[in-house]
Amino acid sequence: MVTLFEVNAADVLLGASILLSCAFFVYGINILHLTRRSKRYTVPKSEEMSTKPTVAIHLPVYNELYVVERLVGSCVKVASRYGKDLVRICVIDDSSDETSKLLDELAGRYQSQGFKMNVLRRGERSGFKAGALQAALLTTEEEYIAVLDADFVPPEDFLDRTVPFLQADPSVGFVQCRWGHLDRKYNLMTESIAIGIDAHFLLEQQGRNSSHYLMNFNGSAGVLRKKAITDAGGWAPDTLAEDLDVSYRMQLAGYRGVFVGDLEVPGELPPTISSLKRQQGRWARGSLQTAKKLLRQIHGSKDLTRGQKIEADIHLTYYLVHPLMVASFLLAALAALLNVNVINYTVNVSLPDFTKGVGANLTAGKVVLASILIAPWIVFSVLVVLSTLSVLYYCTVAIRTQHLGLLANVKEILFLLVLGYGMSISNSVQAFLGIFSKNTGTFKRTPKYAITRKEGSWSEKQYQLPLNATNLFEAGGIVLAVLAMARAIQFSNFGILPILGVYATGYAFVFGLTVKQTFSVKGSFER
């Protein structure tokens, strides 16, 4: 017998799961769309410059003891290639540790060699990275600005291959290069993350650029037109995704972006789960803050096409996928806990009693025409399968595009999938903060340890990340998954076990790895 409460609970579960299916479909189909459009991408050709313009290289730095010397050294090589007298290296140093002393030594060394290099210190870290870049912008006279994060190593021809696009076309506001990876082979995590980053650049960026959609500056490995930044309102500290924000505002101001897919600028990938969660969480919160800030303006623009607006909607809200994943897990858990195994819809139709003639009462009798049985776990399975297949396809194409060998990367793809499910809780926390919090939040940079070989060790260095409150939610997810699975077994609701098992595995793996790596730290924790 089904009580009224059970029927209502079943209705809610079914309705919510259908809505989730529709939402997943939108994001999943967009991956397919951009993948298809990426095949139209052709590497843009630049013309040789008759005269080279001046360029400022802005390097926002905050406590980067292990990588800053490598960064400055690589920028000096870029300046030597492009023209020592045409490039000014500006390090915006907000550091509170030994990094500042090292930077002063580097500035003195390279200044004595004739390079233009200065260290800008603000005295406070207001506005974080956006505040640092804006402070540097106000002191910049050069026409173009290259931006590099501390862990990147630009090739010597970086400016020679990017500046020509800006010089040839005044409508180009920024040029974005593809990210490479210094530590791809360090461990299974970096190998897996590299696949996801590659897919972003090879499929998403190429797909958006070839389709004339709004694309984003990725915050590093790019060159921007100073006037475009100024016309867009400058670097703004009201989101944690200052790069996404300023590049969208540039395009709303009439400029466009160029993606140079054949120029690879390598940087470091997070070697630990805690640093990866911090990076992903900042991107999740920042992108949704940008969506809140700009979507109304985007839809009000008369210069953008309907397709550009729809793609912008999906792009800026993409991190909602993680709350959707958590929601599908919670729905599956509720179905198991409430023992909602089958939702029964009976269709009744009233027929007249023809024995009483033409004027028969239509409500005289009821005849059951059909009984529809719907298992909620079938819908949940569709959610899980769709999200998994879209990621698998996304990764597979990225691997094949680079001829890395699909079979050789099966383990890495599976690892990436587990990470995706396991990190859905931490990313959801930051996504909700991005949507509902009135505070911008603190820009917590991803620690870099200058590890490029397997022999390197991160655990003995500074900038380690401690456990935080989000780990309690992860532990709670594990407990809920185990209870729901036990309940499902008790009531022979076996169909829902695979879905719960996927999430339980992801949450347990990410939580366990976080705890293990945290307690293996030998160096000092972040100040």
What CA–CA distance (Å, rounded) separates 475 from 205?
36
The CB density around residue 140, as the number of other CB atoms within 10 Å, is 20
Nearest CA-CA partner of 386 in 480, 317, 321, 332: 321
Cα–Cα distance list, 258 to 24, 72, 203, 247 (Å): 29, 26, 15, 11
DSSP at 221? S
State the pLDDT at residue 356: 56
The helix or strand, by DSSP H or E, that contains position 91, with its residue range, turns out to be strand 87-93
What CA–CA distance (Å, rounded) separates 292 from 290?
5
Which phi-psi region, left, alpha or beta, contains residue 464 (left: φ > 0; alpha: ψ -120 to 50)?
beta
Burial of 102 (0-12, 13-18, 19+ CB in 10 A): middle
List of residues 6+ apart from 344 with CB closer than 8 A: 2, 371, 372, 373
Beta strands 343-351 and 256-267 are unpaired
State the pLDDT at residue 46: 87
Average pLDDT, consecutive stretches of 10 residues, N- to C-terminus, the chain (527 residues): 50 78 88 94 91 97 97 98 98 97 98 98 95 98 98 98 97 98 96 96 97 98 98 98 98 98 97 97 98 98 97 97 93 88 58 54 50 66 76 90 92 94 97 96 95 89 95 97 96 88 96 96 89
> Is 243 an annotated catalytic residue?
yes
The helix or strand, by DSSP H or E, that contains position 312, with its residue range, turns out to be helix 306-316
CATH class as words, domain 37-273: alpha beta
Which phi-psi region, left, alpha or beta, contains residue 391 (left: φ > 0; alpha: ψ -120 to 50)?
alpha
Phi, psi of 514 (to 5 degrees): -60, -50
* Structure token digits, residue 262: 């054949």
State the pLDDT at residue 394: 87
What CA–CA distance (Å, rounded) separates 325 from 420?
10
DSSP at 464? B
Cα dihedral value 311, 412, 415, 32, nearest 10: 20
What CA–CA distance (Å, rounded) separates 33 from 400?
18
Domain range summary for the chain, segments of one domain joined by + = 37-273, 343-352+361-376
What CA–CA distance (Å, rounded) separates 412 from 419?
10
List of residues 6+ apart from 333 with CB closer than 8 A: 480, 481, 483, 484, 500
β-bridge partners, 343: 374
On whether the CB atoms of residues 145 and 224 are closer than 8 A, the answer is yes
Catalytically annotated residue among 94, 151, 183, 198: 94
* Structure token digits, residue 81: 């290639």
Catalytically annotated residue among 183, 198, 243, 245: 243
List of residues 6+ apart from 31 with CB closer than 8 A: 203, 390, 393, 394
* Structure token digits, residue 412: 């890495």
DSSP at 62? S
State the pLDDT at residue 344: 55
> Is 94 an annotated catalytic residue?
yes
State the pLDDT at residue 54: 98
State the pLDDT at residue 440: 96
- Kindly report the length of the chain: 527
* Structure token digits, residue 79: 């300046």
Task: Give the three-state DSSP class for 503.
Answer: helix
What CA–CA distance (Å, rounded) separates 103 from 207?
39
The CB density around residue 373, as the number of other CB atoms within 10 Å, is 10
What CA–CA distance (Å, rounded) separates 396 from 97?
42
